[in-house]
Amino acid sequence: MTSTPTGGMSRRGLLKSAGLGAAALGTMPLLSACGGLKGSSSSAADVLRIGYVSPQTGPLASFAAADNFIVSTIQDAVAKGLTIGGKKRKFEIVVKDTQSDPNRATEVTRALINDGVDLIVGSSTPDTTNPVADQCEANGVPNVTTIAPWEAWFHGRNGKEGEGFKYTTLFFFGMEQFADCFFPMWDRIGVSNKNVAALWPNDTDANAFRNGLGPMMKSKGWNPIDGGAYEDGASDFTAQITKFKNSGAELFTCTPIPPDFQTFWKQAQQQGFHPKLATVAKVMLFPTEAEALGKLSNNIATDIWWSPQHPYKSVLDGTTAKQLADNYATKTGKQWTQALGSIYSLFEIAIQAFKDADDPKDKDEVAKNLREMKINCMSGDLDFTNGPEPGIAIQHPVGGQWRPGKKFPWDVVIVDNTPNPAVPVGGDLEPTNA
């Protein structure tokens, strides 16, 4: 797979003409107490400032575990600056923590805007992506976010069909892609009935599943058994478990916050709800969650949109997905997480939007570049002009299951690549509760 930036220049040509290089950011810790990365002797016109917003603490913190590494890696990839708009530009990345709180996401995004950043990127669930995008749209600041179902991002922000937004864009996937990922595994596992237990809370993410995936399930003959729209932070799931058991459902799917899933799954095991296959979303995406559940993680299936096995590479320096994962393990001692690819690509896309601009300080021009971008990068082929709505680029996740690992306690095995045959299968699909 070639890596050709927007505009048709080859990666080799990009490196030769640009002279890759990184931010003048000093030596302070990447995620400092004040949440920022600063330190440049260049004039303001010569520095392009990117704000990054993510849930580095709180119940969604597993999504941001790779933030330090990625910001450092991007700094290294652009260490000497880039010639953009006829000038040599350096980069400054200002990092903000939402603390997993949508209200704080709004606050820190406003702070970035008031601080004069040129573009804002953000990651991880609608609790982050939506308030960040709303503030950027209202204030005319270019923005790209990821790791949120597109329906929750678009409809949750009252997007106009066929029109989209002027300043805010997203790459990830939606209900159709979840169906493409989960349904083949449901078909293959072999169940005695079509009932599917669904744990969907009352939040933007889960309501997108309830209103989107639910009807898709019915159209394919599956019967969602909705456990009810409970509030995040619940501690007793007896009512839902009883309903699921009474339905005889042998399949299970869900979209809770990670702590709630851990509570539910432990109670389900204690109360005798043992679905033949669990295909979960929003949870069990990262190794820390598998480690927290221990042996109860075995063969839980989830959507995998990025892994070391994906045949993708960086548009900045040609680093492959496997090399990025290996570098992360070497430098941090930690296991790869699929957020690595997504967060990396936020910065690839941001930098490319600047590069495509005659004046990278012109926010309208940069926002237009985001909406019109086609890029082959660490997250694969992304086309923001050909999504379900303008400014949305779609990825295609494959099915993976958690199993005991060799180097680390738990690892993901790709067991179904129906939606994306370019990703190699590494093992057979197995029952979650064998």
Q: For the segment 33-70, what is each residue's pLDDT rounded down to a tens digit?
A: 333 333 334 566 789 999 999 999 998 999 999 999 99
pLDDT at residue number 434: 61
Q: Which domains does the chain have, with CATH numbers?
A: 11-173+307-394 (3.40.50.2300), 176-304+397-416 (3.40.50.2300)
Residue 355 has pLDDT above 50, yes or no: yes
Confidence of residue 208 (pLDDT cuts 50, 70, 90): confident
The token pair that represents 10 in the structure block: 């080859």
For the chain, what is the mean pLDDT? 89
Distances (CA, A) of 403 to 9, 276, 290, 359: 42, 16, 9, 49
- Cα separation, 148 vs 151, whole angstroms: 8
pLDDT tens digits for range 368-412: 999 999 999 999 999 999 999 999 999 999 999 999 999 999 999
% of residues, the chain, pLDDT over 70: 89
Residue 431 has pLDDT above 70, yes or no: yes
pLDDT at residue number 204: 84
What's the whole-model pTM score?
0.85
281-292 per-residue burial string, b: 16 or more CB within 10 A, e: under 16: bbbbbbbebbeb
Residue 9 has pLDDT above 80, yes or no: no
Confidence of residue 19 (pLDDT cuts 50, 70, 90): very low
pLDDT at residue number 79: 86
Other beta carbons within 10 Å of 111: 17
pLDDT at residue number 42: 52
- CA-wise closest residue to 39 among 22, 23, 53, 50: 23
Residue with the two structure tokens 């601080």: 115
% of residues, the chain, pLDDT over 90: 83
Distances (CA, A) of 48 to 91, 175, 357: 5, 35, 12
pLDDT at residue number 335: 93
DSSP bridge pairs for 226:
198
- Cα separation, 106 vs 256, whole angstroms: 22
Mean pLDDT, residues 153-163 taken together: 95
Give start and end residues of each alpha helix (H) in 286-386: 287-293, 321-332, 339-355, 363-371
For residue 268, the Cα-to-chain-centroid distance in whole angstroms is 28
pLDDT tens digits for range 224-248: 999 999 999 999 999 999 999 999 9
Confidence of residue 26 (pLDDT cuts 50, 70, 90): very low
pLDDT tens digits for range 301-351: 999 999 999 999 999 999 999 999 999 999 999 999 999 999 999 999 999
Mean pLDDT, residues 257-261 taken together: 92
DSSP-assigned states of every residue in 15-54: HHHH--------SS-SS-TTS------S-GGGEEEEEEEE
DSSP bridge pairs for 8:
none
- Cα separation, 65 vs 248, whole angstroms: 38
Beta strands in 150-297 (DSSP E): 168-172, 195-199, 223-226, 251-254, 277-280
pLDDT at residue number 205: 84
The token pair that represents 24 in the structure block: 């003048």
Strand order in the sheet with 143-146: 82-84, 87-97, 47-54, 119-123, 143-146, 168-172, 392-394
Greater confidence (12 vs 223) lies with 223
pLDDT tens digits for range 264-280: 999 999 999 999 999 99
Residue 422 has pLDDT above 80, yes or no: yes
pLDDT at residue number 83: 92
pLDDT tens digits for range 73-107: 998 899 889 999 989 999 999 999 999 999 999 99
- CA-wise closest residue to 296 among 429, 403, 173, 144: 403
